[in-house]
Amino acid sequence: MNLIAVIILFAIGMDFILNAWADYLNLKVLRPEVPEPFKAVYAPDQYRKSQEYLRVKTRFGWITGSVNVILLLIFWFAGGFPLLDEWVRSWDLNPILNGLIFIGILGLLKAIVSLPFSVYATFVIEERFGFNQTTWSTFVLDILKGLVLALLLGTPLLAGILFFFEYAGTYAWLFCWIAITIYMLAVQFIAPTWIMPLFNKFTPLESGELKSAILGYAQSIKFPVQNVYVMDGSRRSSKSNAFFTGFGKHKRIALFDTLIKQHSVGELLAVLAHEMGHYKKKHILVGMILGILQTGLMLYLLSFFISYQGLFDAFYMQYISVYGGLIFFAMLYSPLDFFIGMFMQMISRKNETAADRFAVETTGDSGAMADALKKLSAHNLTNLTPHPFYVFLNYSHPPVLRRINDIKGLDRMS
Ligand SMILES: [Zn+2]
């Protein structure tokens, strides 16, 4: 068996085993007693429900993960890739169109496989735990809009990458890097006004106590805010959240309608202060730069492997092609991506702590921040006691108990 195939199989296996092991540990450390700081917000039966939610989701994750791996292995070893390649080549088109169709069909197959799982997660699991608000028509429309958007936004980008690697020679990776970076920035720029309104309704927050509190606070920390919007998150789920979009002076705040319903003005302000903290502490900017560097590294490595015979032998491909190289390299790259991802999550967890600290220091209200975190976790049935190994692999935020402890620690220091 070819060495590349062995490496990829080993990577797939390790990824599966590590995640399953972390899941197992995560379930094993669950205890029935509600942790002390949460006694006031979590009734014992609600706490039991949150643990049941975790168990159900973990088991469902095992099934989804296993099915995905098994189908990939069947497709691979039954010669699915060369079969698809020969079929596409039989149309006698140019290499760019071949690539678009080849990758497009693989993407479509993946979407078809994940569809029943997505239906089950939304209409059975989320429904059972009282989160689901998605109607069938919203669900179907979301899929159709997503598909059209993927075609409209993805096709030109993919065509560009295929074109550069087909015709631009040694520096193809560099041209691709520049093109992808510009493209991603442009998409992020248009997302708040052109893309997100396709999926949700954004209405300006009406004047009142909350709006003046937000604008007053933003001014006090010299944070330019033009608009505060309310997003109809309740259209899909009763879970709640808040986020920022846009750049520079065009930043927008979006609060889920579900969030506004559940929190006091002080708590909402704490949540937003945390988000503004990410901007003020340059987390967003640094994250973007790290993302761009990561893309560059990946493209640079890709340029060595994109027409490497061994990579194509591993998948029984008869012909070498740019599009085949893209797909197969992505699988070979996944172990490195795994480690980079873990490192990025470590940075992210540190940033979250820094943003919490910023919020507490600038609002001077550690109680509101802690209350907001408690209510959010109880409402979203968050796992309060994740296993450290699970946190290490999967968490972009520190566990909520840790965050609350850190916030209390800030109080003691001041
Ligand atoms: Zn954050």
Question: pLDDT per residue over 36-55, tens digit each?
Answer: 999 988 889 999 999 999 99
Distance of CA 274 from the midpoint of ligand 1 (Å): 6
Query: pLDDT at residue 412 above 90?
Result: no
Q: How would residue 247 be classed by pLDDT, with cut points 50, 70 and 90? A: confident
- Average pLDDT of 111-137? 96
**What is the per-residue burial (b if ≥16 Cβ within 10 Å, else e) of 286-300?**
eebeeeeeeebebbe
Q: Largest Cα–Cα distance of the chain, in whole Å?
A: 72
DSSP bridge partners of 256 = 231
Tokens (6 digits) for 405: 């402890």
**pTM reported for the whole predicted model:** 0.91
Tokens (6 digits) for 367: 């109680």
Distance of CA 255 from the midpoint of ligand 1 (Å): 14
First to last CA, the chain: 63
Per-residue confidence (pLDDT) for residue 226, from 0 to 100: 77
Distance of CA 399 from the midpoint of ligand 1 (Å): 12
From the candidates 23, 275, 352, 371, give the one annotated as an active-site residue.
275
Describe the strand order of the beta sheet including 202-204 as a list of residue ranges: 202-204, 227-231, 252-256, 242-245
Distance of CA 387 from the midpoint of ligand 1 (Å): 21
pLDDT in tens, 98-107: 999 999 999 9
pLDDT in tens, 269-325: 999 999 999 999 999 999 999 999 999 999 999 999 999 999 999 999 999 999 999
Distance of CA 33 from the midpoint of ligand 1 (Å): 28
Residue 126 is among the residues annotated as catalytic for this protein: no
- Average pLDDT of 233-237? 94
- Average pLDDT of 318-339? 96
Per-residue confidence (pLDDT) for residue 414, from 0 to 100: 58
Gap between the Cα atoms of 142 and 49, Å rounded: 29
Looking up tokens 């991506």 gives 337
Distance of CA 350 from the midpoint of ligand 1 (Å): 10
Q: How would residue 411 be classed by pLDDT, with cut points 50, 70 and 90? A: confident
Per-residue confidence (pLDDT) for residue 192, from 0 to 100: 87
Residue 52 is among the residues annotated as catalytic for this protein: no
Query: pLDDT at residue 176 above 70?
Result: yes
Per-residue confidence (pLDDT) for residue 288, from 0 to 100: 94
Distance of CA 270 from the midpoint of ligand 1 (Å): 11
Q: Provide the mean pLDDT of the chain.
A: 94
- Average pLDDT of 86-95? 95
Query: pLDDT at residue 225 above 80?
Result: yes
Q: Residue 222, class by beta-carbon neighbours within 10 Å (0-12 exposed, 13-18 middle, 19+ buried)?
A: exposed
Of the chain, the percentage scoring pLDDT greater than 90 comes to 90
Distance of CA 278 from the midpoint of ligand 1 (Å): 7
Of 151-165, 224-238, 330-344, give the lowest mean pLDDT range.
224-238
Distance of CA 327 from the midpoint of ligand 1 (Å): 33
Query: pLDDT at residue 413 above 90?
Result: no
Total length of the chain: 414
Query: pLDDT at residue 175 above 90?
Result: yes
Distance of CA 299 from the midpoint of ligand 1 (Å): 29
From the candidates 126, 267, 352, 356, give the one annotated as an active-site residue.
356
Output the CA torsion sign for 234, 237, 238, 244.
Answer: negative
Per-residue confidence (pLDDT) for residue 1, from 0 to 100: 77
Of 65-79, 162-176, 247-261, 323-337, give the lowest mean pLDDT range.
247-261
> 3-state secondary structure string, the chain?
CCHHHHHHHHHHHHHHHHHHHHHHHHHHCCCCCCCHHHCCCCCHHHHHHHHHHHHHHHHHHHHHHHHHHHHHHHHHHCCHHHHHHHHHHCCCCCHHHHHHHHHHHHHHHHHHHHHHHHHHHHHHHHHHCCCECCCHHHHHHHHHHHHHHHHHHHHHHHHHHHHHHHHCHHHHHHHHHHHHHHHHHHHHHHHHHHHHHHHCCEEECCCCHHHHHHHHHHHHCCCCCCEEEEECHHHCECCCCEEEECCHHHCEEEEEHHHHHHCCHHHHHHHHHHHHHHHHCCHHHHHHHHHHHHHHHHHHHHHHHCCCHHHHHHCCCCCCCHHHHHHHHHHHHHHHHHHHHHHHHHHHHHHHHHHHHHHHHHHCCHHHHHHHHHHHHHHCCCCCCCCHHHHHHHCCCCCHHHHHHHHHHHHHHC
Query: pLDDT at residue 167 above 70?
Result: yes
Q: 381 with 333: CB under 8 angstroms?
A: no
